[in-house]
A and B are shown apart, each in its own frame.
Chain A
Amino acid sequence: MVPRTLLIGYGNTLRGDDALGPMAIDRLRTLLPDVECVSCHQLGPELAGQMAAFQFVLFIDASCEGEPGTVSLQPLSPDGSHAASLTHHVHPAALLELTQTLYDRAPRAMLVTGVGTSFDMHEDEKLSEAANRALGEICRLVPGLLQSFPAR
């Protein structure tokens, strides 16, 4: 049976609130033990092959834009317009485009973004208060979100 959902949290764990994505994955692994999870520093083309095996992919990222502590959801479609190099700062939509082109199928996908306030390097590697709020909200939201995406 094809696994249904893949969660991908990404960010630099040494850069303050940028760690939000990987930290969300750490928590969601416990909350959703049957769901496949990937935690990574940055998105890379190598994820495309993995994504092609899933029906739904949820990306979790941090942002410095927006009201601190808030969480936003954005449906994603394949989009190759920012995929020229695919080596750094790969947008999830570019990964979907890559998956579609190479494997003839792209999963449905959504980007969950939590807004942080501090992306500097910290010795204690802790999230800001705002990012912590966003992290809690993401972990509350995601399980319900997965329920709302029935298998095709």
Chain B
Amino acid sequence: MPTITIDPITRIEGHSKVTIQLDENGEVQGARFHVTQVRGFEKLCEGRPFTEMPALMARICGICPTSHLLASSKACDDIMAVRIPETAEKLRRIMNLAQITQSHALSFFYLSAPDFLLGMDADPEERNIMGVVRKFPQMARDGIKLRQFGQRVLEMLGGKRIHPGWIVPGGVSHPLQADQRDAILAEIPEAIRITRSALQWFKGQIENFRAEVRSFANFPSMFLAMANDTNEFSAYNGWLRFIDSNLNIVADHITGTDYLNYIGESCNDDSYLKSTYYKPLGIAEGMYRVGPLARLNMCQSAGTTLADEELAEFRELERHSVLSSFYYHYARLVEILFSVERMQTLLNDPEILGKNVRAHASPNNFEGVGYLEAPRGTLIHHYKIDQNGLIESANMVIATGHNNLAINHGVFQVARQFVKGNKLEQGMLNRVEAVVRAFDPCLSCSTHAAGEMALDIQLISSDGEVVDRMRR
């Protein structure tokens, strides 16, 4: 059977490829998303003191170190059985919101904007961030500034932009200073202006991407995200909840090790990325999605003024839940707006400068679980320790693993819609990459090189002949 291989997928975080299988008439019969890099962090943590885990986990990735730092610290809090000081919790939430802001800005402005601004069919030599810089400099300046804002908050609090510290088991290592608070607050109005401007622009563009909205992983599925009693947007506190595509609650109040009863993990022969699934339904029926789309479908309100206005408009896209994964981009912008507004509220709280920011305790449990909403979706860290406080086992369930089944379904849906195997065109293959990009997968446990390697796509007939080839 002829196979098209797109290797690597460009403008995502990490190394992966897509294979598309064609029949003899050039019609798409199957498509698969393969992750070609290995992550080994679960194993290498074994034997380390549990108190080292947050710092170790911050090294898992250059894009989402803060999310791992936070989830890991929450798992350690659970092992120590401490309730962290209120100020520390608020500071951690600010850190998480800054992480969401900078990561979403990277995804939207750097990685996906070339598709929106220059077109899915544009020359790949131009369809990149420099193409955006040349043709839409204001948008590029805004994107850089917004990401810089998120990074500056991380740097101010965590000491550095990449692999920050500061978040520790029991809270944070030191209090926030008034001049740091004021410096962050001073930048918030501009961050809000940029985000609202991008939202206005993107909403005006949706009509131009109707085919992509229809076919970019647009299908009913369950969604998983954190939830709470108020049904407000929650990225730090709460429990896990599954809903179906009609917004009905499927499973709720999942805490601690309960996740093992609801989330199954399956290894694949052709990928280093596990696929997770809703365990009660099995892998065949248990596909669900996480991340910005899931979170906006899950919550009833954002809890901040401007984001609530945007959320109301977002919900009008579809009758029940918003199903097209093309709208992940839209959801990301709404989440940035929420994050910046919420940071402002938290920073204006007088308690934010409180000096009591860390609880101290020895291990009181042999097991601990930390949940968090990372930019790309629900993140779970689960550790078991021995009597000396050394890690016996570590399990990390990562957002991109949650989405793996949906990404694969999406790749097949887009390939079937756009790829005609008798003659390859850049635009059709870019759409296959773009549906992967919509999920903003992050595959990394170390440094990586998005877009650096050459793209080499071969169309090979059933007798082994190269029918067509495209490189960039």
Q: Which A residues fall within an 8 A CB radius of B?
A: 12, 14, 40-42, 45-46, 48-49, 80, 83-89, 97-98, 101-103
Contacts and interface: CB of A to CB of B under 8 A. Distances in A.
Contacts of A89: 449, 452
A81 to B, nearest CB: 9
Contacts of B62: 41-42
Sorted from nearest, which 8 A-B pairs have the closest CB atoms? A85-B451, A46-B148, A84-B128, A41-B162, A83-B130, A86-B129, A88-B449, A87-B450
A84 B451 CA distance: 8
Given A86-B128, A98-B130, 20 more contacts: A14-B59, A40-B160, A41-B163, A45-B110, A45-B147, A48-B144, A49-B141, A49-B144, A49-B148, A83-B129, A84-B130, A85-B10, A86-B110, A87-B106, A87-B450, A101-B130, A102-B137, A102-B140, A102-B141, A103-B141
B379 to A, nearest CB: 21
How big is chain B's contact interface, by range?
A: 20 to 34
Nearest to B150: A46
Nearest to B128: A84
B450 A41 contact: no
Nearest to A80: B130
Contacts of A41: 62, 160-163
B253 interface: no
19 contacts: A12-B447, A41-B62, A41-B161, A45-B110, A49-B141, A49-B145, A83-B129, A84-B129, A85-B10, A85-B110, A88-B448, A88-B449, A89-B449, A89-B452, A97-B130, A98-B130, A102-B133, A102-B140, A102-B141
Contacts of B163: 41
Nearest to A46: B148
Contacts of A101: 130, 133-134, 137
A83 B110 CA distance: 12
A106 B144 CA distance: 17
A97 B137 CA distance: 13
A125 to B, nearest CB: 13
Given A80-B130, A101-B133, A102-B137, A85 B452 contact: yes
Interface of B: 10-11, 59, 62, 106, 110-111, 125, 128-130, 133-134, 137, 140-141, 144-145, 147-148, 151, 160-163, 447-452
B11 to A, nearest CB: 7
B148 A85 contact: no
Contact of B450 (A12, A49, A85, A103): A85
A46 B101 CA distance: 14
Contacts, number: 74
A87 B163 CA distance: 16
B128 A85 contact: yes
Given A41-B162, A83-B129, A86-B130, A102 B448 contact: no
A88 B144 contact: no
A87 B148 contact: no
A141 B9 CA distance: 43
A49 B137 CA distance: 13
Contacts of B129: 45, 83-87
A86 B129 CA distance: 7
A101 B134 CA distance: 7
A14 B447 CA distance: 12
Contacts of B125: 84
A42 B160 CA distance: 12
Contacts of A45: 110, 129, 144, 147
B248 to A, nearest CB: 39
Among A84, A86, A102, which residue has the most Cβ atoms of chain B within 10 A?
A: A84
A14 B58 CA distance: 13
Contacts of A88: 447-452
Among A41, A42, A46, A86, which residue has the most Cβ atoms of chain B within 10 A?
A: A46
A89 B145 CA distance: 20
B164 to A, nearest CB: 11
B52 to A, nearest CB: 14
Nearest to A100: B133
Contacts of A80: 130
Contacts of B59: 14
B16 to A, nearest CB: 15
A7 B125 CA distance: 32
Nearest to A39: B160
Contacts of A14: 59
A12 B141 CA distance: 27
Contacts of A103: 141
Contacts of B151: 46
Contacts of A87: 11, 106, 110-111, 129, 450-451
A46 B144 contact: yes
A42 B163 CA distance: 12
